[in-house]
Amino acid sequence: MRRYRNVKIVATLGPASTDYDTIRALHEAGADVFRLNMSHGTYDEIRERYHIIREIERDLDNPIGILADLQGPKLRVATFRREEEELEEGATFRLDLDETEGDATRVCLPHPEIFAALEPGSDLLINDGKIRLRVESCGPDFATCTVIAGGTISNRKGVNVPDVVLPLAALSDKDRADLEFVCDLGVDWLALSFVQRPEDVIEARKLVDGRAAVLSKIEKPSAVKCFDEILAVSDGIMVARGDLGVELPVQNVPPIQKRLVRRCRAVAKPVIVATQMLESMIESPMPTRAEVSDVATAIYEGADAIMLSAESAAGQFPIEAVTTMNNVAIEVEGDPTYQEVIEASRRAERHSIADGIVAAAREIAETTDIKVICCYTESGTTALLIARERPRVPIIAMTSLRGTARRLALTWGTNCIMTGELNRFKQAVVNAARAARVNGYAGTEDQIVVIAGVPFNVPGTTNILRVAPCDESLIFASDPE
């Protein structure tokens, strides 16, 4: 199924998108990757959605990526005697380990690890930042705070601690069980929540043990501070702007988003921009102009993928939301300014033969009448390197490994086509030419660029570039042996 855009779309599944017909319609409308949110749904529901996606993949003969998103540790206050209380600005409020129900002066915070990390002057955010408390004094089992921003506090509201690195693992017991479940199920990507340091990712990678690619969600200030180290041990990144916007001043988020997207692109790792992209479409069939501009900004920045959350999982108009995102992407990428911005932001880190070959492929494609760049890839690395170049022509990634094709569904501009294992370069060229013609990327009068590695079927051996005609008879005539 050919897409007429390069940025990919991730759609979250949920109560509004659980059956075969709806999920297939979402894919046909533009969803390239489906997100399974482990914060919601039973294992039986997650398993059923997984199998429906794979059934659609078989029916359409088109690789589809599946991303499982772990919940991460949830820090929450306990309960109140009257269920909710009003905190006034300037008032004193105490958090402690006393399990007695709370009132207007105190509440239990059943997380001793938070108290262990707090210092006077630290801020605590409650209910998505609507309430802000400043720690005046603290100990191993309490924190006495001043209410800086007041509001209604109620049972089990979430707590954010933006100023400190918490002595808390990124994987809770639930996350570890969920990780094993989805990896055994066969998901392609695993998203980690609550990443604070590279060690969090390294721990998860050991547990995953190669069964899925690992994507780190950047949603805490501590993760932004050591982003390069986290990126180095991750297969991909999600800029999770919701929590990031709670723990940081909101005006800080756009420049951070831009910076993280560029860093990911420079090292050829896919990056998703997520959270509240078309949120009004949860209840409306039309987005706001501001939301459309927000989606467009992520595309202009060169993000690999943009994501829908509640819009497709629980909204009233899931298919319309995907269609809107698809249409915005096509319009933006057709703007001449888009190509200017993308090319001006090209900052590749080139150190290998493969880096040089993909850069040469882009140069050849952009200075001659090349219709498509075809690459053979086992691990997916060659396709990632070509995508980093953001060429003006389409990319066909040909692989014999369905898992590789599914993971590349998240990568900018890649159109994955399954092929058998090869042992001769001429056959690779013939297969590439045939794929370009059959899928409408080129005609018999056109030329393509083919990239491969010899010996075949060995990751990391990209070493050949050839400009070839799409007419198979011309390929055999020019290479008769």
Q: Tens of pLDDT along 247-301?
A: 999 999 999 999 999 999 999 999 999 999 999 999 999 999 999 999 999 999 9
Residue 463's pLDDT is: 85
Stronger pLDDT, 381 or 424, i.e. the higher one = 381
Which pLDDT score, from 0 to 100, does residue 479 have? 64
More confident site: 472 or 68: 68
Report, as an integer, the average pLDDT of 430-454: 92
Q: How far apart are CA 274 and CA 281, in angstroms?
A: 15
The pLDDT of residue 214 is 98
CA distance 211 to 192: 15
Task: Name the residue among 7, 1, 2 with its Cα closest to residue 329.
Answer: 7
Per cent of the chain over pLDDT 90 is 84
345-380: pLDDT as tens digits:
887 667 788 899 999 999 999 899 999 999 999 999
CB-side exposure of 40: number of CA atoms within 13 Å? Answer: 14
Contact 452, 462 (CB under 8 A): yes
Mean confidence (pLDDT) of the chain: 93
Residues whose CB falls within 8 Å of the CB of residue 220, separated by 6 or more in sequence, listed in order: 162, 194, 195, 196, 243, 244, 247
The stretch 128-155 carries a mean pLDDT of: 95
CA 242 to chain centre: 14
Q: What is the reported pLDDT for 421?
A: 80
Predicted pLDDT of residue 375: 94
Please answer whether residues 457 and 399 qualify as being in contact, where contact means their C-beta atoms are separated by less than 8 angstroms.
no
CA distance 272 to 9: 9
Q: Are 355 and 462 in contact (CB under 8 A)?
A: no
DSSP, residue by residue, 216-245: EEE-SHHHHHTHHHHHHT-SEEEEEHHHHH
How far CA 320 is from CA of 24, 62, 146, 329, 364, in Å, comes to 13, 22, 45, 14, 39
Residue 30 DSSP class: T
pLDDT-based confidence at residue 391 (cuts at 50, 70, 90): very high
Give domain limits for the chain. Answer: 8-72+170-335, 84-160, 353-478
Q: What is the pLDDT of residues 427-439, one digit of tens each?
A: 889 999 999 999 9
Confidence of residue 426 (pLDDT cuts 50, 70, 90): confident
Q: Which of 40-44, 163-167, 407-411, 444-448: highest mean pLDDT?
A: 407-411
Please state, in angstroms and as integers, the Cα–Cα distance from residue 413 to each residue in 351, 389, 437, following that order: 23, 10, 18
Topology of 353-478 in CATH? Pyruvate Kinase; Chain: A, domain 1 (3.40.1380)
Give the pLDDT score at 294.
96
Predicted local confidence at residue 347, as pLDDT: 74
Flag whether pLDDT at 124 surpasses 60: yes
pLDDT of residue 481 exceeding 60: no
The topology under which CATH files domain 84-160 is: M1 Pyruvate Kinase; Domain 3 (2.40.33)
In this predicted structure, what is the pLDDT of residue 456? 75
> Shortest CA distance to 239 belongs to which of 183, 188, 302?
302
Which of the four pLDDT bands, split at 50, 70 and 90, describes residue 454?
A: confident
Half-sphere exposure of residue 391: CA atoms within 13 angstroms, side-chain side = 28
Same fold, 8-72+170-335 and 84-160: no
Q: Could you tell me if 396 and 437 are in contact, meaning their C-beta atoms sit under 8 angstroms apart?
A: no
pLDDT at residue 480 is higher than 60 = no
Q: What's the token pair of residue 52?
A: 């429906």
Catalytic residues: 35, 76, 217, 275
In angstroms, the CA 360 to CA 442 distance is 20
**pLDDT bucket at 477, cuts 50 / 70 / 90:** low
d(CA 221, CA 244): 7
Which helix (H) or strand (E) covers residue 68, if one does? strand 65-69
C-beta neighbour count of 475 within 10 angstroms? 21
Model confidence band, residue 420 (pLDDT cutoffs 50, 70, 90): confident
Across the range 418-430, mean pLDDT stands at 86
- 424: exposed, middle or buried (C-beta count within 10 Å: 0-12, 13-18, 19+)? exposed
Nearest to 466 by CA among 353, 379, 350, 365: 365
pLDDT in tens, 12-61: 999 999 999 999 999 999 999 999 999 999 999 999 999 999 999 999 99
- Kindly write down the DSSP assignment for every residue of 290-316, as one continuous string: HHHHHHHHHHHTT-SEEEESHHHHT-S
Q: Cα–Cα distance between 66 and 37 in angstroms, integer?
A: 11
- Token duo for residue 401: 């490994």
Residue 100's pLDDT is: 95
Question: Contact at 8 Å (CB) between 354 and 451?
Answer: no
Look up the CATH number of domain 8-72+170-335.
Answer: 3.20.20.60
Which pLDDT tens digit goes with each residue over 171-192?
999 999 999 999 999 999 999 9
